Amino acid sequence: MKYADLHIHTYYSDSTFSPEEVMAAAHKKGLAAIAICDHDCVDGIGPSEELTSSLGIEVIPGVELTIEKEDAEIHILGYCIDWKDEEFRKKMKILQDARVERIHRMVEKLEAEGIPVKADEIFKLAGKGTVGRLHVARAVLNTGKIKNFKEIFGRYIGFLKPCYVSNVRFTPKEAMGAILKVGGVPVLAHPQTMGKDEYIPELIECGLRGIEVYHTDHKQSQEEHYKEIAERYGLLVTGGSDCHGMGKGRVLIGTVRVPYELVEKLKEESAKISDEYR
Ligand code: AMP
Ligand code: ZN
Ligand code: FE
Ligand code: FE
């Protein structure tokens, strides 16, 4: 059986792993395919693809975009995107630049809460590509003021917590539209994070085609629940580990994987979307 882990980050967003380390780890796990899905960035895809022929691992080009509602944070994965598209890359650049500004505002808020964290240190941790809250959390840990990620997110930087700052807000139409326009298949990431199933019909109206049923943070009962939702709405089923290298404490790649047939379904859907939207 061939397997794929369809949700992997690189150090072009908030993983600690380079594309080379990601591909080596995928090889060790015997995966046939992985999807590189960095937040607001596609720069990790090319360097990963360079290792496809030597390691025999297919790279599905992906991205993870954020949508915000007043009461929900929604992550949308885009699969099989034309990641070289200039206009799409420009959109990612706008989001990346806005993220820098956002970090300065989060640093101010953290300082006001008595947590003296330096923007420069966060940018250094982030390195290439996008900077995000996982880098903020690591910098806060380094101050020694707070002992673990759970508390940092739970008390300060989690969605709608006192030091949380939104990035440029994408509506569902904008996020899904950007993905569809480059032939990508929009998929709702870790739906339990959004926690609001009632938004799913609206997302489908805006172009959603799939749902990440299998994810590191999903319990079996949640998998069953989202599988049922996928069937009800005719959505594709995907799954992945959401590996962030050591960024979330342990290496997750390959711990969640799906049969390779699901990759074929994504490709078929991408071909249909390309016919319709390009
Ligand atoms: P950002 O794109 O900057 O908003 O940050 C998103 C990153 O923060 C992703 O890697 C998420 O998994 C992580 N994240 C968001 N909320 C939490 C949380 N409550 N606990 C741990 N990680 C979180
Ligand atoms: Zn992340
Ligand atoms: Fe996510
Ligand atoms: Fe992710």
pLDDT at 81: 98
Q: What is the token pair recorded at 159?
A: 């969605």
Q: Are residue 45 and residue 111 in the same domain, yes or no?
A: no
Identify the domain boundary among 157, 189, 212.
Answer: 157
How far does residue 11's CA lie from ligand 1's centre (Å)? 15
Provide the domain count of the chain: 2
Residue of 100, 134, 141 best suited for mutating to test ligand 1, as the one with most atoms within 8 Å of CB:
134
How far does residue 153's CA lie from ligand 1's centre (Å)? 8
How far does residue 198's CA lie from ligand 3's centre (Å)? 19
Query: Does residue 133 have its Cβ closer than 6 Å to ligand 1?
Result: yes
Q: Are residue 83 and residue 131 in the same domain, yes or no?
A: no
Domain for residue 162, yes or no? no
pLDDT at 201: 98
Q: Are residue 148 and residue 268 in the same domain, yes or no?
A: no
Query: Does residue 75 have its Cβ closer than 6 Å to ligand 1?
Result: no
> Phi and psi (nearest 5°) for 79?
-105, 150
Q: Are residue 116 and residue 144 in the same domain, yes or no?
A: yes
Domain for residue 235, yes or no? yes
Residues of the chain with pLDDT under 70: none
Q: Which residues sit with Cβ closer than 5 angstroms to ligand 2, an ion?
A: 14
Q: Are residue 42 and residue 105 in the same domain, yes or no?
A: no
Q: Are residue 100 and residue 22 in the same domain, yes or no?
A: no
Structural domain span for residue 234: 3-92+167-277
pLDDT at 278: 84
pLDDT at 102: 98
How far does residue 265's CA lie from ligand 2's centre (Å)? 25
Please name the residue whose Cα sits nearest to atom 5 of ligand 1: 133
Q: Are residue 101 and residue 65 in the same domain, yes or no?
A: no
How far does residue 10's CA lie from ligand 4's centre (Å)? 10
3-state secondary structure string, the chain?
CCEEEEEECCCCCCCCCCHHHHHHHHHHCCCCEEEEEEECCCCCHHHHHCCHHHHCCEEEEEEEEEEEECCEEEEEEEECCCCCCHHHHHHHHHHHHHHHHHHHHHHHHHHHCCCCCCHHHHHHHHCCCCCCHHHHHHHHHHHCCCCCHHHHHHHHHCCCCCCCCCCCCCCHHHHHHHHHHCCCEEEECCHHHHCCHHHHHHHHHCCCCEEEEEECCCCHHHHHHHHHHHHHHCCEEEEECCECCCCCCCCCCCCCCEECHHHHHHHHHHHHHHHHHC
Please name the residue whose Cα sits nearest to atom 6 of ligand 1: 133
Q: Are residue 131 and residue 113 in the same domain, yes or no?
A: yes
Q: pTM of this prediction?
A: 0.98
pLDDT at 9: 98
Domain for residue 134, yes or no? yes
- For the CA of 132, the nearest atom of ligand 1: 3
pLDDT at 106: 98
Cβ density class 66-90: b for 16+ within 10 Å, e for less: bbbeeeebbbbbbbbbebebeebee
Domain for residue 191, yes or no? yes
Identify the domain boundary among 157, 184, 210.
Answer: 157
pLDDT at 169: 84
pLDDT 10s digits, 217-259? 999 999 999 999 999 999 999 999 999 999 988 999 999 999 9
Q: Are residue 24 and residue 42 in the same domain, yes or no?
A: yes
Q: Are residue 65 and residue 179 in the same domain, yes or no?
A: yes
Closest ligand to Cα 189? 3
- For the CA of 167, the nearest atom of ligand 1: 4
Query: Does residue 170 have its Cβ closer than 6 Å to ligand 1?
Result: no
pLDDT at 29: 98
Q: Are residue 69 and residue 135 in the same domain, yes or no?
A: no
Domain for residue 88, yes or no? yes
pLDDT at 263: 98
Q: Are residue 59 and residue 194 in the same domain, yes or no?
A: yes
How far does residue 34's CA lie from ligand 4's centre (Å)? 13
Residue of 73, 133, 242 best suited for mutating to test ligand 1, as the one with most atoms within 8 Å of CB:
133
pLDDT at 153: 98
